[in-house]
């Protein structure tokens, strides 16, 4: 069970942190329609994070069997330190410009879609149920972001330059998605098997956008095991402020 808890927290943390980053666009999108779109994607990811946190809390409470120190989705999101978070490094990077936000969402959504397909066949009924619901949302995230990648890559000189720069900056964080850590291996998750399909689908979109995948890039890792960039601490300070300043506060 510990490996299942860690893996579920990894899924929850990744969705929460990307949700928080996307939420930074609320009221700042390039046009109203896309402002609403990125905000809705943020809310979808937040909903997915809640489902995973609720499941993780149930597993933790069952394993400790301590009625006094019960864990909730709120305590998991708001009262853990950055070293306890297991999100992908890709999701915690600064918002950047519109091109960087779009490309990150595309790279992650393509991976998440393939992962959720695998989860739907899981023997863990709760993970399978969450995947069945989430994959419908992720299909939209993937379609929306891929269309934007093509639009920017095949658009103006400036839009092409911006999405090319984003690709150069973000690609080094994609390898972590397919590098399994101990709790994934123990829980029977086969992320390496997804890499070939991910690479093919991502390459097809990037080729249509006139973009070239960087070569010879050293892949960053560590997020799954609590080793993060300096950006996560600042994000959590903002995300967790209210709960830490007013413990137990509820809407």
pTM of the entire structure? 0.95
Q: Are 48 and 130 in contact (CB under 8 A)?
A: yes
Task: Note the CATH number of domain 2-245.
Answer: 1.20.1260.10
Could you tell me which residues come within 8 angstroms of residue 64 by beta carbon, excluding any fewer than 6 positions away? 71
Sign, Cα dihedral of 182, 184, 186, 192: negative
DSSP-based three-state secondary structure for 45: helix
Alpha-carbon distance of 103 to 156, in angstroms, equals 17
Residue with tokens 């098997």: 193
Q: What is the pLDDT of residue 66?
A: 72
The token pair that represents 147 in the structure block:
């269309």
Q: What is the pLDDT along the chain (251 residues), one digit of tens a residue?
A: 578 999 999 999 999 999 999 999 988 878 877 888 999 999 999 999 999 999 999 999 998 877 777 899 999 999 999 999 999 999 999 999 999 999 999 999 999 999 999 999 999 999 999 999 999 999 999 999 999 999 999 999 999 999 999 999 999 999 999 999 999 987 667 999 999 999 999 999 999 999 999 998 999 999 999 999 999 999 999 999 999 999 887 76
Q: Is 128 exposed, middle or buried (0-12, 13-18, 19+ CB in 10 A)?
A: middle
Q: What is the dihedral of CA 156, 157, 162, 166, to 10 degrees?
A: 100
**Whole-number Å distance between alpha carbons of 194 and 111:** 8
Q: Which two tokens stand for residue 40?
A: 């809705």
pLDDT at 65: 76
């Amino acid at each position: 069970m510990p490996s299942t808890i860690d893996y579920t927290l990894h899924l929850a943390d990744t969705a929460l942190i990307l949700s928080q980053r996307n939420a930074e666009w609320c009221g700042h999108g390039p046009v109203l329609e896309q402002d609403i779109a990125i905000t809705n994607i943020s809310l979808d990811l937040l909903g997915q994070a809640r489902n995973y946190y609720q499941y993780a809390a149930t597993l933790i409470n069952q394993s400790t069997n301590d009625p006094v120190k019960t864990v909730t989705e709120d305590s998991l999101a708001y009262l853990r330190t950055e070293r306890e978070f297991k999100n992908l490094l890709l999701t915690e990077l600064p918002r950047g410009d519109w091109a960087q936000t779009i490309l990150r969402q595309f790279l992650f959504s393509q991976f998440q879609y393939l992962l959720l397909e695998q989860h739907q066949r899981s023997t863990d009924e709760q993970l399978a149920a969450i995947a069945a619901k989430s994959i419908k949302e992720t299909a939209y995230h993937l379609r929306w972001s891929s269309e934007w990648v093509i639009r920017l890559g095949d658009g103006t000189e400036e839009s092409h330059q911006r999405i090319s720069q984003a690709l150069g900056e973000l690609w080094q964080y994609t390898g972590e998605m397919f590098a399994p850590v101990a709790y994934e291996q123990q829980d029977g998750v086969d992320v390496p098997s997804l890499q070939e399909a991910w690479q093919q689908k991502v390459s097809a979109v990037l080729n249509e956008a006139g973009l070239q995948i960087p070569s010879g890039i050293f892949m960053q890792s560590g997020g799954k095991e609590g080793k993060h960039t300096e950006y996560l601490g600042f994000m959590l300070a903002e995300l967790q402020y209210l709960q830490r300043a007013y413990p137990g506060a509820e809407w």
